[in-house]
Amino acid sequence: MNNFGFYILILGLVLSIQSTLLFFIGEKLQNNKILISAKRSFYLVSLMVSIGAFALIYSFLTNDFSNIYVANHSSLDMNPALTFVAFYSGNEGSLLYILLVHVLLSSVMYRFAQTAIKEKLSYPCAILSFISSFYLIVLIFFANPFEVSEFIPADGKGINPLLRHPGMYIHPPLLMSGLASISIPFVLCQGSLFDRSGMVPWYSTLRIWCLISWAVLGSGLLIGAWWAYTILGWGGYWGWDPIENVGLMPWLVLTALIHSLMVEERRGIFRLWNIILVSLTFILALLGTFINRGGPVVSVHSFAASTLGFLFLAFMIVLTFYSVISIIYNYQNLTKNNIKIESYLSREASFLLNNILLVMTSLIILWGVIFPVVSILLNGTEISVSAPYFDKTAGPLLLLIIILMGIGPILSWRRTTKKATFFRLLPSLIITTFMGFYLFIYGIREFFPLISFLSIIFVLTIILREWIGGTKSRMGKSYNPLPSFLKMIVSNRGRNGGYVVHLAILALAFGVVGTKFYDERLDLNLSIQDEVEFKHYSIIFDSIQQEFIAENSITKANFIISNKESKENLGNITAMHSYYPNYNQISVRSGILSSPIEDLYIIPKDFIDDKNMTIRIAINPLAWWIWLSGPILIIGTLITLWPSKVRKE
């Protein structure tokens, strides 16, 4: 099976190179037969890569430890359900997974593209095939997942302990899929660059794929934060690690692009700016792959240092150079439209400011990511950048972006009078002012959290007022607002789906502000049956249990939680250490009692003996809202993407 999988990848490489050349030649010569052959090769690459992926999965399921990758990432006692996780848990398998996503999405894009666009997809498909060829070259010559060992071990090393968490079934695939999918918007933009007819509807297809990439990448980032929150045992969910940042940066620029595309589609402006945004998003996605492959930027999430990082660096430089040249070559065509923003009080002006802030935030994060490398190059000493830098620089910009989320949608296209703007904002400003007094009296008096909460309230009231007004206008004589509300949502799915996504961002911001400024922690040693009171909780250390699964040991600490005043039982919490001798590694699983108001979070720091341990108790206010934002984001994206009409075949 290993030889079969390896030869399948070689065949895929041959077909991918053939597809690249034939698409270019066929389009240049306008030869339909050559283009048909190119299309067949294009689809066959997807088939070959899929077969290769299934061959590797089969090796995992049959415990083929002659395969070095299988031996390093699985074992006889591994639950077969973890096979999918083991598949992408190492460098070679994750590259094969990224390639699989890339070729499958490429095929889906080509298969379901509108007829008018499909006729112009030769150059975009050639670029996609070129990207596939690069990945296949890396897999065949530098990171072969089918490499065979001369010595066949009786058992494998096993899967990395940190990857046994349920979040690992979703977080890495979504994050890698999101980064891989960005190549689709990139090549669609390249196709629009070389289409001089002006008759092809690129905007709708491009926006759909941008939204798909945005939602997948955003969901991957959120689930990664949840995984860190529940298993890493440090009490947080976002540490501004380079790998976290390289997923966040393209997501921020994609956010800017989605808004900017709306302006181009509506007003015909921002054409050059959108091409730059797409190219920047794609380059940042490649940067993420470079750092994750053992590049010079150190991350706890990245794979071991290897020459792969520099292969991806070279690939990134080539495609960056191509992007710049394509923009320069098409500059006159991109700037021939002289339509300008007519007023700073217009929706397009607010979107442009939103774009600038999002790109600035991304570049600030980028500087923090690469600064250790820059410091080594300049003075020979590595100077790391920690969370306070990102909090103090990116935080205020993100707050301004949230405020603009509320102002932008109430402005009209082209221009809005100052008077109209004032009266549209007035009800929200009044409510926000009253809430400001209430929060101040309640005890929230620090400047940044107070302003943050008020900004969230301000945007929330604007969204609710828009929906209430739209629902009332459709109710007529009916007393049931629900059907009218649903009709209002369906009547403009793009706009109202965007509002739902904005609600997700508000929920996320609400949770981040609460956990960032109002968390409380306590470290202490406990013996069994000790009781500790913290805030309004009474916590009893009930027992310690130890289990053995194969060679792995699991030590659990059980706690009984009740209300300090009323003595009402609130539930039980179990926190644990799992020790994996093959990795000489301890996996920490925190115990969490969650509610919309706050999380009680217990970290098992150290088991001293069978009766004593050291723990950290944390109160994380509003953390629940961070995880709620994920489903809301998906719902909003689906509303936006859902077709208004069923196409007639």
Question: Is 472 inside any structural domain?
Answer: no
Pair (326, 250) in one structural domain: yes
Phi, psi of 562 (to 5 degrees): -140, 165
Pair (137, 244) in one structural domain: no
The domain of 585 spans 520-625
Which residues have C-beta within 8 Å of that of residue 405, sequence separation ≥ 6? 354, 459, 502, 505, 506
**Using CA atoms, how far apart are residues 221 and 244, in angstroms rounded to an integer?**
7
Pair (155, 169) in one structural domain: no
Question: Is 181 inside any structural domain?
Answer: yes
Closest CA to 631 of 178, 214, 215: 215
**Using CA atoms, how far apart are residues 166 and 509, in angstroms rounded to an integer?**
25
Picking from 354, 383, 399, the residue at the C-terminal end of a domain is 354
**Using CA atoms, how far apart are residues 389 and 237, in angstroms rounded to an integer?**
17
Check residue 83 and give its pLDDT: 85
Pair (112, 177) in one structural domain: no
Using left for φ > 0, alpha for ψ between -120 and 50, and beta otherwise, residue 291 falls in alpha
**Using CA atoms, how far apart are residues 430 and 192, in angstroms rounded to an integer?**
46
Picking from 159, 180, 212, the residue at the C-terminal end of a domain is 159
Question: Is 260 inside any structural domain?
Answer: yes
Instruction: Show the 3-state SS of 337-375.
Output: CCCCCCCCCCHHHHHHHHHHHHHHHHHHHHHHHHHHHHH
Picking from 354, 383, 406, the residue at the C-terminal end of a domain is 354
Question: Is 197 inside any structural domain?
Answer: yes
The CA-atom distances, in angstroms, between 417 and each of 349, 350, 410, 420 are 14, 14, 12, 5
Task: Report the run of H or E that residue 258 belongs to, with start and end.
Answer: helix 242-267
Other Cβ atoms less than 10 A from the Cβ of 36: the count is: 12
Pair (30, 126) in one structural domain: yes
Question: Is 239 inside any structural domain?
Answer: yes
Pair (97, 130) in one structural domain: yes
The β-bridge partners of 562 are 538, 569
Which residue's structure tokens are 């936006």? 640
Check residue 573 and give its pLDDT: 92
**Using CA atoms, how far apart are residues 332 and 335, in angstroms rounded to an integer?**
5
**Using CA atoms, how far apart are residues 412 and 429, in angstroms rounded to an integer?**
19
**Using CA atoms, how far apart are residues 644 and 646, in angstroms rounded to an integer?**
7
> Low-confidence residues of the chain, pLDDT below 50?
299-300, 302-305, 646-649
Pair (107, 214) in one structural domain: no
Q: Which two tokens stand for residue 123?
A: 């150059």
Closest CA to 384 of 396, 400, 394, 373: 373
Closest CA to 98 of 278, 315, 276, 277: 315
Pair (316, 335) in one structural domain: yes
Pair (228, 350) in one structural domain: yes
Count the alpha carbons within 13 Å of 550 in the hemisphere toward its beta carbon.
14
Pair (256, 126) in one structural domain: no
DSSP state letters, 2-52: HHHHHHHHHHHHHHHHHHHHHHHHHHHHT-HHHHHHHHHHHHHHHHHHHHH
Question: Is 47 inside any structural domain?
Answer: yes
**Using CA atoms, how far apart are residues 649 and 647, in angstroms rounded to an integer?**
6
Pair (179, 90) in one structural domain: no
> Per residue in 567-624, pLDDT tens?
889 999 999 888 888 777 788 888 999 999 999 999 998 888 888 999 999 999 999 9
Closest CA to 99 of 136, 147, 55: 136
Residues 364, 395: contact at Cβ < 8 Å?
A: no
Question: Is 82 inside any structural domain?
Answer: yes
Question: Is 569 inside any structural domain?
Answer: yes
Number of domains within the chain: 3
Check residue 283 and give its pLDDT: 94
Pair (138, 169) in one structural domain: no
Closest CA to 502 of 391, 337, 646, 635: 635
Closest CA to 136 of 246, 5, 39: 5
